[in-house]
């Protein structure tokens, strides 16, 4: 029993290192791709990137983003202001407790302060997604930089980066952010994203550091070193392409965490106060007793939209896992 696996791989992380671009025969995507245009490795019949989960997840995400972007053209976003609509109207085709039917002017109903829910969703969704994307981007860039530095430079620098990421991964971001917000008062969307990013660099740092350490000893890196390639070249041209599925996976996981944190802040009544976000809508709904008053559309629609968003992110992540770990594709 003792000599079974040499290293204990981290749970949830894909195990294969360089095999993601190796053709496999069991791909689910076989037959989906038009092989006549095959040119280069990304157009092979067994292209692992044409993973159904990945495509579905990305599709839903793109749809949500488009809804936010195009919605601002189609729908009147002025309706997000308090008092611009009648109060507590149900969505079209439903009746509220007083028996008032929904009207086509406000197809998703209105909230207790006279705001149109469709307009709130159209304006709030991009805001929520943006916080996630910005926080994750900053976190990833920092993580890539620190991870490569730790793995390549080694020694003291490595020790400091490793211990710091170990320590920071333990601290729940929500609490530090709560302290920050209660001390500073209102924050902007960007500020919020930057604050969350302060807690998003640890896992990419650890991931990349571990990968760099194992890759550093591999044949092709040694080869590149022997042929006199610069460190930059080895890092970004030789190693980086192999890390892409991991980086994507880590990015998506971080977007999810960042959005969860942001929504958490908003549900606690913190976060940006003047811009509508999905979490803010839920906060208003809970605080006005929408649950007991059976105003299900008020809290239910933003909740459902967030849930769909998270499911799409999960699908993308699972898809990427399968891209980078061919063994998972058999399932």
Partner 1 sequence: MGGIPSSYIVNRLITLVLTVWIAATLIWIIPRLSPVDPAEVMLGRMAAGGAFVEGSDLILEQLRERFGLNEPLWVQYLLYLRSIITFDFGLSAASFPTPVSSLIAQALPWTIGLMLLSVIITFIIGNALGAFMVWERTPRVWKVVIPSLMIFTAIPPILSGLLLMYVFAVQLRALPLTGAYGLTVEPGWTMEFALSVVEHGTLPALSIILVTFGFWTLGMRGLMITVQGEDYVNLAKAKGLKPRYILYKYMVRNAILPQVTAFALKIGLLVSGQILVERIFSYNGMGKLLYDAILDQDFAVIQGVSFIIILMTAISVFIVDLIYPLIDPRIRQATERTA
Nearer to partner 1, 5 or 39 (CB): 5
Cα 294 to its chain centre, rounded Å, is: 31
Distance CA 315, CA 13 (A): 15
Q: Where are the alpha helices (DSSP H) in the chain?
A: 52-74, 117-153, 155-170, 173-184, 189-197, 202-216, 219-226, 231-233, 240-267, 278-287, 296-324
Report the alpha-carbon angle 254-255-257, nearest 5. Answer: 60
Q: CB 205 → partner 1: shortest distance, Å?
A: 13
Nearer to partner 1, 33 or 313 (CB): 313
Nearer to partner 1, 15 or 24 (CB): 15
Q: CB 191 → partner 1: shortest distance, Å?
A: 13
Residue linked to tokens 């919020």: 192
Q: CB 219 → partner 1: shortest distance, Å?
A: 23
Nearer to partner 1, 112 or 264 (CB): 264
Nearer to partner 1, 86 or 154 (CB): 154
Distance CA 272, CA 278 (A): 11
Q: CB 236 → partner 1: shortest distance, Å?
A: 28
Nearer to partner 1, 33 or 281 (CB): 281
Q: CB 80 → partner 1: shortest distance, Å?
A: 22
Those residues with Cβ within 8 angstroms of residue 181's Cβ, 6 or more apart along the chain or in another chain = 187, 265, 270, 271
Q: 120 and 111 in contact (C-beta within 8 Å)? A: yes
Q: CB 59 → partner 1: shortest distance, Å?
A: 15
Residue 271, helix vs strand vs coil: coil
Name the DSSP class of 49. T
Residue 280, helix vs strand vs coil: helix
Q: CB 277 → partner 1: shortest distance, Å?
A: 14
Q: Residue numbers of the site for partner 1 (CB under 8 A)?
A: 1-2, 4-5, 8-15, 163, 166-176, 178-180, 182-185, 203, 256-257, 260-261, 263-264, 267-270, 282, 286, 291-292, 294, 296, 299-300, 303, 306-307, 310-311, 313-314, 318, 321, 325, 327-328, 331
- At 116, give phi and psi (nearest 5°): -80, 130
Nearer to partner 1, 76 or 294 (CB): 294
């Amino acid at each position: 029993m003792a000599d079974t696996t040499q290293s204990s791989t981290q749970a949830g992380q894909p195990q294969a290192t360089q095999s993601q671009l190796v053709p496999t025969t069991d791909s689910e995507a076989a037959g989906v791709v038009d092989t006549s245009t095959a040119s280069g490795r990304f157009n092979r019949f067994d292209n692992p990137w044409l993973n159904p989960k990945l495509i579905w997840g990305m599709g839903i995400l793109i749809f949500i983003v488009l809804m936010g972007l195009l919605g601002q053209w189609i729908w009147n976003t002025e309706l997000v202001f308090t008092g611009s609509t009648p109060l507590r109207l149900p969505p079209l085709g439903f009746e509220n407790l007083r028996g008032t039917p929904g009207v086509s002017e406000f197809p998703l109903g209105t909230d207790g302060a006279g705001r149109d829910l469709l307009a709130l969703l159209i304006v709030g969704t991009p805001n929520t997604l943006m916080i996630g994307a910005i926080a994750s981007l900053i976190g990833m860039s920092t993580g890539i930089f620190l991870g490569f530095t730790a793995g390549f430079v080694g020694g003291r620098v490595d020790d400091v980066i490793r211990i710091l990421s170990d320590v920071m991964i333990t601290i729940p971001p929500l609490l530090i952010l709560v302290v920050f917000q209660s001390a500073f008062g209102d924050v902007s969307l960007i500020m919020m994203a930057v604050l969350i990013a302060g807690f998003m660099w640890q896992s990419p740092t650890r991931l990349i550091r571990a990968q760099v350490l194992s890759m550093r000893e591999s044949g092709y890196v040694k080869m590149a070193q022997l042929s006199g390639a610069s460190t930059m070249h080895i890092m970004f041209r030789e190693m980086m392409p192999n890390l892409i599925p991991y980086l994507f996976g880590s990015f998506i996981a971080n977007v999810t965490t960042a959005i969860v944190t942001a929504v958490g802040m908003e549900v606690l009544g913190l976060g940006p106060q003047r811009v509508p976000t999905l979490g803010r809508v839920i906060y208003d709904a809970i605080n006005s007793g929408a649950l007991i008053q059976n105003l299900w559309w008020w809290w239910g629609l933003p909740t459902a939209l967030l849930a769909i968003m998270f499911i799409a992110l999960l699908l993308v992540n699972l898809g990427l896992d399968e891209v980078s770990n061919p063994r998972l594709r058999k399932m």
